[in-house]
Amino acid sequence: MTGRRMSLPRLPTVSAPARSAVAWAVAAAIVVFCAFAGWSYRQARTDEALAYAKARDAVLADGRQSIARLNSIDGTDAQQVQEGLRQWLDATTGPLHDEMARTNPESGRSLQQAGTRARCTVTDAAVTELDTRSGTARLIATVQVALTPRGGAPATTDRKRFEAGLARTSGGWRLTAINAVPVGAG
């Protein structure tokens, strides 16, 4: 060390009026940003397209679950069959629900006698129609059903396509109709 001191350069001083103007500009920018963010949030919360998209997503989720339920059952014992039939009724409403309730005793006996276990996976689905005012929708789906017969026979897999009608209920969207779509149909 040589004993010389180095001095740091002096920063320029900003006058009080200039500091005040910068502070006001920053405050104004914050107010403008907050106003824009609030307006943007309000627009998004009241957007009809957003409400329609949420309804479409609900139809798709409930429809996929209901179709999977209607194509799945464990026929290995009476308790499993009854639980499966209860789930079928929970997935439906309207005329389809009434028809299933009417035929459940006969269906239960047939299912238990066959003893087959069916597990359905919805591989793809799409909402084709949605009327949020009337609370109705239509859905198409492709499914894969794994069938395991009683007695240890090898499981088989079946692919199917369905078109389903749905109605909005207090418990969500439920199936009102379900029809198989032939593979060659457009």
Residue-wise pLDDT for 67-114, tens only, equals: 999 999 998 889 999 999 999 999 999 999 999 999 988 988 898 888
Q: Is residue 44 part of a domain?
A: no
Q: What is the pTM assigned to this prediction?
A: 0.73
Say yes or no to pLDDT of 24 above 60. Answer: yes
Higher pLDDT, 47 or 144: 144
Mean pLDDT of 107-130: 93
Domain harbouring 72, CATH code: 3.10.450.50
For residue 18, is pLDDT > 80?
A: no
Q: Could you tell me if residue 38 is inside a domain?
A: no
Is residue 13 included in any domain, yes or no? no
Q: Which residues contact 156 (CB under 8 A, 6 or more apart)?
A: 146, 147
pLDDT at 186: 54
Q: Is residue 77 part of a domain?
A: yes
Q: Is residue 11 part of a domain?
A: no
Domain that residue 131 falls in: 51-180
- Residue 59 CA to residue 98 CA, distance in Å, equals 21
The answer to whether position 103 is within a domain reads: yes
Phi and psi, residue 37, nearest 5°: -65, -40
Higher pLDDT, 182 or 125: 125
Cα gap 79→127, rounded to integer Å: 34
Residue 185 pLDDT class (50, 70, 90 cuts): low
7, part of any domain: no
Number of domains in the chain: 1
Residue 41 forms part of a structural domain: no
